[in-house]
């Protein structure tokens, strides 16, 4: 199962996320759930890097399927918009494949 933790601050702004594990929906290379979550997470990181000025850090371990992304500062409008897209996308995936993706929220 893929476990997703979405980090929120006291204002409910999304400050980052942690994705871990493998879905187990299908064999490696054919797992559409893993592919969808990975593509979404990587797109968020690339979009923040390309379109935003906020400092952030990202750590990933492809073998274990782990990725942690966290802003180092309060994100601005554009960064929050991108994080909203992530939250919407990951929620939709989780609702469609609830046996394979679990989302939790944590205040940071």
| pLDDT score, position 77 | 98
* Ordered per-residue pLDDT tens for the chain, 108 residues: 999 999 999 999 999 999 999 999 999 889 999 999 999 999 999 999 999 999 999 999 988 879 999 999 999 999 999 999 999 999 999 999 999 999 999 999
Burial 72-83 (b: 16+ CB within 10 A, else e): eeebeeebbebb
Cβ atoms of residues 89 and 97 within 8 Å: no
Q: How much is the pLDDT for 61? A: 92
Query: Which of 1, 5, 77 minimizes the C-alpha distance to 41?
Result: 5
Structural domains of the chain, ranges and CATH numbers in brackets: 2-107 (3.30.70.1490)
């Amino acid at each position: 199962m893929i476990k997703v933790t979405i980090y929120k601050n006291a204002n409910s702004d999304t400050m980052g996320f942690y994705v871990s594990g493998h879905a187990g929906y299908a064999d490696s290379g054919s797992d559409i759930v893993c592919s969808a979550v990975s593509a979404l997470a990587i797109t968020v990181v690339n979009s923040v890097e390309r379109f935003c000025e906020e400092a952030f850090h990202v750590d990933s371990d492809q073998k274990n399927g782990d990725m942690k992304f966290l802003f180092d500062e309060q994100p601005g409008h554009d960064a929050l918009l991108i994080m909203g897209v992530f939250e919407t996308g990951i929620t939709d995936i989780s609702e469609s494949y609830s046996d394979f993706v679990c989302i939790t929220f944590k205040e940071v």
